[in-house]
Amino acid sequence: MYTIANELKDKIVYLNKVLSEKYSQVLSLDEMFLREFIEENVGPIRKVNKLTEEELAYYYQKGGILGVDGSRNRVGGAYPHFVEIYQGLAKSTIYKDKPIYKADFYSPLYDEKGEFPIEDSIEEEESIRNRKLSTIEIEAALEGIRQLKPYAVIMDGSLIRYDIESFTRWMELRRECEEKDIILVGVIKDIKTSIIGELLKEDKELNIEECFHDRELLYGMLEYGEMISIHGEVTKKAKEGFSSLFMRSSKAPTVIGMDLLDSQKKYLEEMARLVLTLTPEDGRGVPLWIDIVDSEVKISDKMIRGLLESYLDRQILEMLFISERDKRTL
Amino acid sequence: MKVVGITTQQEVYVGSKDRNFRINEFLIISDPYQGDLMGEIVEAKTYNKYIPLSIHGELADSSVIESLKALGYNIEEDTIYIGKIRLLNEALYPVETGCDVRIPTFDEVKDIMINSPADEGLILGVIKNTDQMAKDMDEEYKNLLYTFEEGELKKQRDIPYIFNIRSMHQYPHIGVFGGSGSGKSFGLRVVLEELMKLNIPTIVLDPHFEMDFSQRGDYMPKEEEIDYRDKFKCLQVGFHVGVRFEDLSPQDLKNLLDASSPLTDAMNNVVDILFKRNDSYNSFYNRLKMLAEAQEEGSLDRIQLRIDSADSNLEREGWLKRKELFLTYDKTCPYNSVRGIIWRLNRLYNEGIFSKDIREIEDGLNMGKLIVIQGNTRILQVFSTYLLNNLYHRRRDYKDALYKKTTAEYFPPFIVVTDEAHNFAPKGYDSPSKSILKEISQEGRKYGTFLILATQRPTLLDETITAQLNTKFIFRTVRASDIQTIQEETDITVEEARRLPYLRTGDVFISEALMGRTIFARIRAAHTTSPHTENPFDELKNISKAEDEKFMQIIKNKLPINGDDFINVIKEIERDTGITYTVNIFEDKLEDLVTKGLIKKEKTPFFNIYKEI
Ligand SMILES: Nc1ncnc2c1ncn2[C@@H]1O[C@H](COP(=O)(O)OP(=O)(O)O)[C@@H](O)[C@H]1O
Ligand SMILES: [Mg+2]
């Protein structure tokens, strides 16, 4: 026991050492320098204010805000004996009694349109599952904008993700929003980009070999309410057709990302202000409306189990979806 | 309203989307299998999935909530209300989840709320949170009282709380507990008003000089005024009432002296030896005094010398008497103990205790009056010991005589009321007043003598007596030790005990043996007010105002007053009113009136002129 603990301790000390070495450069980057670098190469840093009461009232008149989110639950064991269940929700701040739910499922045991890959490539399989989730969210959003006619739609996650994972339905949503002049915005809690990191690395004078993530570089760097609107050319590298920004939306030092359609670029700052307005100051930076939609779309594993137990034949359930591990707890 | 969640035979949760629950509210659960079940809300909560903990344990601040509201989404509408109901009687089976819950009608709760006709009981207040059931209440119970809340007089909307005084025969004695400022004295006042209304003979020990009932509460409407003036009498110890020395038994006397300041065994002995039947104060006092003087001489020889060298016959006789006392008592009555008794006796005498008797008290009780005995705590301890022994034994003798079919003078049943009861019956040590109170607490029921004891420190009250208090009024209590005592001595629940520190002034838990449960009530507005509820700072202000007015009256017809003429004006005032001022003080006072804007001052090159405005 003692020796294991000691060994573990040594490993952790070692991890700390390599991480400190790796990040010493980030940690030692002068904040002023970094801000200047960003202003020069990434985009202007600006402080934005919350929306005023009149602006909010205007939003209300124009149809309120539609929040969109999805959830996935997986029941069963290893491939192919599992089923994954997806639920999407679009909910308007105005029509609280008209939530729009969409549902779908995926199981390798059932081939919808012969679209499954012949060789069971894990990546391909995962992309199907991602597509299902994205699609269901897009469908909820589509029905939401048709029925509830919102002023803006806030999606939980990057818009680029929908473009990649469910292209056709995405184009449909995009077109409709553009036609109806409904602002579409994605809010990204965990930014995974390296936009600034890449630029730093490219700058030969700086002599930085590592490519750092934006979340690492931006941690604690922006003031509450400050945003960076990213230059078109810089974003384009990632994906064409979108405009993005980073913002510190709460007192927490982390930074969130937002993206909009290029065609709606003029709303960039306005949407940043909307998100700032809806985010608790002492929170993690996520707009409360997204948290509310998120909590309503989530289904507990227990509930899913109950559903399957009620509507699947016992034999099928046990034969196909109950893993050895689950049986132990049965 | 519906039953939700897991239920038991004792407790269920009830949920509602649009109606908040109030603690101590009564509700009926319509169980499809067991019929109607009555219960009381013991905990009330509101719950909103999004505030305050939003979803990840973070606080959704009000600006975000307001913004969402502006966007059309009112987060508060997602609030649900949850109440925990404790069933009055345990159900046979756990209550059906999902069944309906409704508000009872008056008839359904009458038996558990009211156990006395309005005109026979003490109308002390309202049972809180019963307004919905009170709507179809019998007329007899409507408009009996007002409450006084947040500085406003309010009409009765709830079911009244009526204490069944007749039940004291079965469940005697009342305790009134609560911290300072919690409403005890006010509550006692209401109890006393009701006792007067029913003409019940009552003795009140009033160490605070606050139980006077001749002044109407200024918040009460004039037409509601009740005149109590011929129903009570305030008597001060040593001034209106006292002890007739000739009536004292040796034990009475020892109690009195002991209450004045504790007696040693030797002092007790001195009283036993020196106090003779039929002694008057003077005869007893002289005996003590002369013995002490003889002892001061120190020896028989020296006393003899005094006798021999006496200037007059009278003086010689005096010393002869001292010699006799010395010979008889010096051995058994040590000088120091004799002095101790003299000192105590003197003290009582100076307080006037021996100058009056208790006739007026007895007469008052016989006429069904409320007799308020006033004095400082110590003197009340002394006097009450004697008084209560006397009255209680009169009553007991009368009842015993009835039983034995012999004759004795009639003496009525009566109630003894005191504030600061822990001073009269302290826990842990003996005090003369404690033994009589203990006796009444244990035996009084048989003779129709009852106690109402109020204290802010139940922990300090004798526990044998506390155990005999069958009804307890519990006001706000903050001290942990007192809350614990209260929990041990009453049937209040853990939830109720937890609420004790937060009760509003005048709100009270009533734990009544007759009802078998605790009632949450608010004491009604008293009809009368204590003579000294004036705020001490208002008092200061009023006094200085009165002073100013007085001075204005005096100088009014002297105005204008010239600064070089003070001496003559002062002389005139002295002649008219007999009041003398020095020039300095007179000028100060005039200046003071100027700053207060009551007169004005004009400056001339030589002197100031003070003029009327
Ligand atoms: N039931 C009541 N309704 C309205 N006011 C009350 C009530 N009980 C007490 N008060 C007010 O609260 C104050 C304190 O009450 P009091 O009875 O003197 O407290 P305690 O005797 O417990 O120290 C008093 O000024 C009294 O007027
Ligand atoms: Mg008091």
> Which residues of chain A are at the B interface, by a Cβ-Cβ cutoff of 8 Å?
50-51, 53, 56-57, 59-60, 64-65, 92-94, 96, 277-284, 288-289, 291-292, 294-295
Distance between CA atoms of B88 and B83, rounded to whole angstroms? 15
- Whether residue B411 has pLDDT greater than 70: yes
Please give the distance, rounded to the nearest whole angstrom, from the Cα atom of residue B236 to the centre of ligand 1. 24
Q: Determine if ligand 1 sits within 6 Å of the CB of residue B185.
A: yes
Q: What letter does residue B100 receive in the DSSP assignment? A: B
User: Is B414 exposed, middle or buried (CB count within 10 Å of its CB: 0-12, 13-18, 19+)?
Assistant: buried
- The beta strand positions in A6-139, using DSSP E, are 45-47, 65-76, 82-92, 100-106
Q: Which residues of A touch B56 (CB under 8 A)?
A: 283-284, 291
- CA-nearest of B193, B206, B190, B210 to B148 is B190
Name which residue leads in pLDDT, B80 or A54: A54
| Digitized pLDDT (tens) for each residue of chain A, 330 residues in all | 456 678 888 888 899 888 888 877 767 778 888 899 999 999 999 999 999 999 999 999 999 999 999 999 988 887 788 889 999 999 999 998 899 999 999 988 876 665 555 555 666 778 888 999 999 999 999 999 999 999 999 999 999 999 999 999 999 999 999 999 999 999 999 998 888 888 888 887 777 778 888 988 898 899 999 999 998 877 766 677 899 999 999 998 999 999 999 999 999 999 999 999 999 888 888 898 998 899 889 888 888 888 888 888 888 888 777 766 565 544
- Tell whether B7 and B98 lie within a shared domain: yes
- Tell whether B364 and B470 lie within a shared domain: yes
Q: Determine if ligand 1 sits within 6 Å of the CB of residue B182.
A: yes
Chain A contact for B57, CB < 8 A?
A: no
Q: Looking at B354, B375, B398, which one is the last position of a domain?
A: B354
Of A53, A57, A93, the CB nearest to B68: A93
What's chain B's average pLDDT? Answer: 89
Name which residue leads in pLDDT, A267 or B516: A267
**A89 is written with which tokens?**
């929700």
Nearest CA in chain B to A281: B61
Q: Provide the domain count of chain B.
A: 5
| Domains observed in chain A | 30-299 (3.30.2170)
CATH number at residue B581: 1.10.10
- Strand duo A65-76 + A152-156: pairing: parallel
The shortest C-alpha distance from B78 to chain A (Å) reads 10
- Tell whether B366 and B500 lie within a shared domain: yes
B159-174 pLDDT, tens digit each: 999 999 999 999 999 9
Residue with tokens 């927490």: A252
- The per-residue pLDDT for B170 is 93
Chain A contact for B58, CB < 8 A?
A: yes
Distance between CA atoms of B521 and B162, rounded to whole angstroms? 10
- Strand duo B202-206 + B370-374: pairing: parallel
What is the CB neighbour count within 10 angstroms for residue B368?
16
- The per-residue pLDDT for B337 is 93
Spell out which residues have Cβ within 5 A of ligand 2, the ion.
B 185
Distance between CA atoms of B441 and B436, rounded to whole angstroms? 9
The shortest C-alpha distance from A294 to chain B (Å) reads 9
- The per-residue pLDDT for B50 is 66
Distance between CA atoms of B172 and B474, rounded to whole angstroms? 17
B578 CB contacts (<8 Å, ≥6 apart)?
none
Q: Which residues of B touch A65 (CB under 8 A)?
A: 71
- The per-residue pLDDT for B53 is 47
Let me know if residue B441 belongs to a domain. Answer: yes
Let me know if residue B530 belongs to a domain. Answer: no
- Tell whether B11 and B54 lie within a shared domain: yes
CA angle B419, B425, B427 (to 5 degrees): 120
- The per-residue pLDDT for A119 is 54
Q: Determine if ligand 1 sits within 6 Å of the CB of residue B504.
A: no
- Tell whether B259 and B321 lie within a shared domain: yes
Let me know if residue B528 belongs to a domain. Answer: no
Is A226 in contact with A213 (CB distance < 8 Å)? Answer: no
- Tell whether B511 and B456 lie within a shared domain: yes
Q: What pTM, to 2 d.p., does this model score? A: 0.66
Determine the average pLDDT of the residues in B6-31. 90
- Whether residue B567 has pLDDT greater than 80: yes
A288/B64 Cβ within 8 A: yes
**Alpha-carbon dihedral sign for residues B543, B549, B553, B555:** positive
Let me know if residue B529 belongs to a domain. Answer: no
What distances in angstroms separate CA A84 from CA A75, A76, A77, A311, B175, one per listed residue? Answer: 6, 9, 11, 15, 68
Let me know if residue B484 belongs to a domain. Answer: no
CATH number at residue B371: 3.40.50.300
B339 CB contacts (<8 Å, ≥6 apart)?
B292
Residue with tokens 């700052």: A269
- Tell whether B409 and B507 lie within a shared domain: yes
The shortest C-alpha distance from A185 to chain B (Å) reads 17
Let me know if residue B130 belongs to a domain. Answer: yes
- Tell whether B600 and B543 lie within a shared domain: yes
Chain A contact for B53, CB < 8 A?
A: no
The number of residues making up chain A comes to: 330
Nearest CA in chain A to B62: A280
Q: Determine if ligand 1 sits within 6 Å of the CB of residue B186.
A: yes
Of A65, A294, A295, the CB nearest to B71: A65
**Alpha-carbon dihedral sign for residues A192, A193, A198, A199:** negative
- Whether residue B422 has pLDDT greater than 90: yes
Torsion-angle region of residue A63: left (phi > 0), alpha (psi -120 to 50) or beta? left
Torsion-angle region of residue B129: left (phi > 0), alpha (psi -120 to 50) or beta? left
- The per-residue pLDDT for A330 is 43
Distance between CA atoms of A276 and B519, rounded to whole angstroms? 51
Distance between CA atoms of B419 and B207, rounded to whole angstroms? 7
- Tell whether B26 and B95 lie within a shared domain: yes
Nearest CA in chain A to B77: A96
Distance between CA atoms of B373 and B242, rounded to whole angstroms? 10
Q: Which residues of A touch B62 (CB under 8 A)?
A: none
Q: Looking at B338, B354, B370, which one is the last position of a domain?
A: B354
What is the CB neighbour count within 10 angstroms for residue B15?
18
- CA-nearest of B353, B367, B369 to B241 is B353
Q: Is the peptide bond before A80 cis (omega within 30 degrees of 0)?
A: yes
A59/B58 Cβ within 8 A: no
- Tell whether B337 and B455 lie within a shared domain: no
Q: Looking at B324, B339, B354, which one is the last position of a domain?
A: B354
Q: Which residues of B touch A94 (CB under 8 A)?
A: 71-73
A277/B72 Cβ within 8 A: no
CA angle A205, A211, A217 (to 5 degrees): 90
- Tell whether B197 and B80 lie within a shared domain: no
- In this prediction the ipTM stands at 0.78
- The per-residue pLDDT for A120 is 57
Q: Whole domain around residue B42: which residue ranges? A: 2-104
Let me know if residue B453 belongs to a domain. Answer: yes
Let me know if residue B90 belongs to a domain. Answer: yes
B465-479 pLDDT, tens digit each: 999 999 999 999 999
- Tell whether B334 and B399 lie within a shared domain: no
- The per-residue pLDDT for B49 is 67
The number of residues making up chain B comes to: 613
pLDDT band for B524, please (50, 70, 90 cuts): very high
Q: Determine if ligand 1 sits within 6 Å of the CB of residue B184.
A: yes
CA angle B179, B183, B184 (to 5 degrees): 75
Ligand located closest to B181 CA: 1
- Whether residue B259 has pLDDT greater than 80: no
Determine the average pLDDT of the residues in B140-146. 94
B67/A94 Cβ within 8 A: no
- The per-residue pLDDT for A127 is 85
A48 CA to centre of own chain:
22
